[in-house]
Structure 1
Amino acid sequence: MLQHFRGNLDYWDPLLLDTLATHREVVTVDLAGVGSSTGRTPDNVSDMARNALAFVDALGLKEIDIVGFSLGGHIAQEIALIRPRLPRRLVLAGTAPQGASDLHRWSDDVYRWAAGDVTTPEDFISLFFSGSAEGTRLAWEYLSRTHARTEDRDPESSLDCRDAQYQALMTWGIPESSKLERLSAITQPTLVANGDNDTMMYTKNSVLLAEHIRGAQLRIYADAGHGFLDQYPVEFGQHVVQFLGR
């Protein structure tokens, strides 16, 4: 499982992990320079993917299913292209294809919520959740779950990590429609998922992603934003389990 921009191990919703773990082994990871991991965070997605592959190789895994969320979804796509026989199935959540439109320069609101030196709970909720009364209620429930454990928490990612990941995201997002052709090389069964109002990666880019990966399934969650999997962790987890079990 590959995490989003600035996210660490403690950002995964325990309800999502528990739903997945009832059916299979689940491996979460802080890549180099993220959270508790030492090293330097790469400033491009290709090197992040090679970093992830080094981790997979160190575990001796020969075949894996990948859930990639946001930036993690960029990395998952790159892994499938660099090492095409390693992933069995892909789940690409709240992410976008390289070169798609409206990725290169976030809106002022998204940049303020995502890239500040300190991310407040209110910033996180504005960025990841729908903004409706129900979405906001579910957002606070997510935060209560992810902060229930107060000891031995994974450290927040550093500002150097933020800057490197931001550069990787902006480079990936330079508009270039020819980059979409790369997706034709992904032949693994793929589930693309997002909320119906993702203001960071834009839901339309999830649709574009599904259109360019042969046979991809697309699932859009109502009244949800970029963090739909935090808003509906059990439902999304069940959909992932069903997809991976086919």
Structure 2
Amino acid sequence: MTNGDDEGAAGARNRTVAVDGETFVYRRFGGTGSETVPPLVLLQHFRGNLDSWDPALLDVLAADREVIAVDLRGVGESTGRVRDNVTDMARDTIAFTAALGLRQIDVLGFSLGGHIAQELALLRPRLVRRLVLAGTAPRGGPDFHNWSDDLFDTSCLDNPTAETFISLFFSGSTDSVKSAWAYLARAGARTGDQDSATTLEVRDAQLQALMEWAIPDSSKLERLAAITQPTLVACGDNDTMMRTSNSNLLADRIPGAQLRIYPDSGHGFLNQYPVAFGEHVRKFLGQ
């Protein structure tokens, strides 16, 4: 028997759980978890919500385990005031897993979600079994604090469009842009239990969290040595948001970390290569 939904990622219904006086919305689906195969908790990118996850990726991940995607405080349908720092976001994730009665989890964090995942592994090392850090960067890492004017303006538009999303997340090559439109079609195909779009409040609070995390400080890199969980670091070969070089740095500083870089791809490599990345994650989590 499974606690998840049987119809896969595209049909997984929205669920709610009370967390410290607020209501967190999440989706839970896939194979049955166990002590040796814990649920995989997904943490989303800047301005993303439940509907931002690629169903093609999630269905691969959920082939042999439960997958749990969550909107943290104030994001999408979840209530409360959006956190403006990564540590509080990680503490909310801890409270969320406790509310579900989870004693051990694997974690996949994408972009801002990868910041949260690192902090989660440090704050609750016995909670996190394995860690996947996708398109993200270490606290205090170089070269991603002060975004270029173009990157800032495009990332922070009041009303982002499909075209601006593609320019941020994909490489711009013909193949990459084709993959981008295919991802958007998959993500937009959901008809039931759609999530609410993230607000400007989400943008502003999460931007503050991103900028605080990204203040260059080489001393903060020493924290990575305390991440002892098996870790997979993955990114595109031309990530202009978090910088591919920061994924290399994560892999160098986290003991025993594996690194996988995907060709002709940017920040959204996991939406360009959803099946390949999903299979790589499955293999890593099953080791």
Per the TM superposition, whether the score is higher than 0.5 is yes
Shift, 1:102, TM fit = 1.4
Aligned match of 1:62: 103
Partner Cα distance (1:181, 1:4) in 2: 24
Counterpart of 1:236 in structure 2 is 277
The CA deviation at 1:151 is 4.2
Alignment of 1:50 onto 2:86: no
Give runs of ≥4 in structure 1 deviating > 3 Å: none
SS at match of 1:97: coil
Q: Is 2:74 the partner of 1:39?
A: no
In the alignment, the residues of structure 1 paired with residue 43 and residue 126 of structure 2 have an alpha-carbon distance, to the nearest angstrom, of 18
Q: If the length of structure 2 is used for normalisation, what is the TM-score?
A: 0.85
Hey, what's the Cα distance between the residues in 1 that align with 2:254 and 2:64?
A: 26
Residue in structure 2 matching 1:210, options 224, 230, 251? 251
State the match for 2:10 in structure 1: none
2: distance between equivalents of 1:152 and 1:117?
24
Residue of structure 2 equivalent to 1:72: 113
- Given the alignment, which residue of 163, 168, 171 partners 2:209? 168
Q: Give the Å deviation of 1:152.
A: 3.3
The Cα of 1:110 is off from its aligned counterpart by 1.4
Paired position in structure 2 for 1:17 = 58
Name the CA distance, whole Å, in 2 between partners of 1:45 and 1:35. Answer: 18
Secondary structure of the 1:194 match is strand
Q: Name the structure with the higher helix share.
A: 1
Could you tell me how far 1:150 is from its partner in structure 2? Answer: 3.7
Measure the CA separation in 2 of the matches of 1:84 and 1:150. 38
The letter of the residue matching 1:234 is: V
Cα offset for 1:112? 1.7
103-112 vs 64-73, which deviates more? 103-112
Quote how far apart the aligned CAs of 1:229 are.
0.2
Cα-to-partner distance string for 1:174-221 (whole Å, 9 max, x where unaligned):
000000000000000000000000000000000001100000000000
Q: Which residue of 1 aligns with 2:31?
A: none
CA distance in 1, matches of 2:192, 2:149: 35
Larger Rg computed on CA atoms: 2
Q: Name the structure 2 match of 1:100.
A: 141
Q: In structure 1, how many angstroms separate the alpha carbons of the residues matched to 2:164 and 2:233? A: 26
Rounded Cα–Cα distance in structure 2 between residues aligned with 1:211 and 1:226: 20
Say which SS state the counterpart of residue 275 (structure 2) adopts.
helix
Q: SS of the counterpart of 1:178?
A: helix
**Alignment of 1:187 onto 2:234:** no
TM-score for both structures, normalised by structure 1 = 0.99
Please say which of residues 101-110 and 161-170 is displaced more in the overlay.
101-110
Residue 210 of structure 1 aligns to a residue in which SS? helix
* Percent identity of equivalent pairs: 68
Letter in 1 for 2:138: P
Separation in structure 1 between the aligned mates of residue 199 and residue 279 of structure 2, nearest angstrom = 33
How much has 1:104 moved relative to structure 2?
A: 1.2
1:26 to 50, 67, 86: 67
Correspondence for 1:122? 163
Question: Unmatched 5+ residue regions in structure 1?
Answer: none
Q: Which amino acid aligns with 1:123?
A: T
Matched residue type, 2:244: T
Query: How many aligned positions are there?
Result: 246
Measured in 1, the distance between the counterparts of 2:90 and 2:190 equals 30
Deviation string, structure 1 residues 12-50 (Cα, Å, up to 9, x no partner): 000000001111000000000000100011100000000
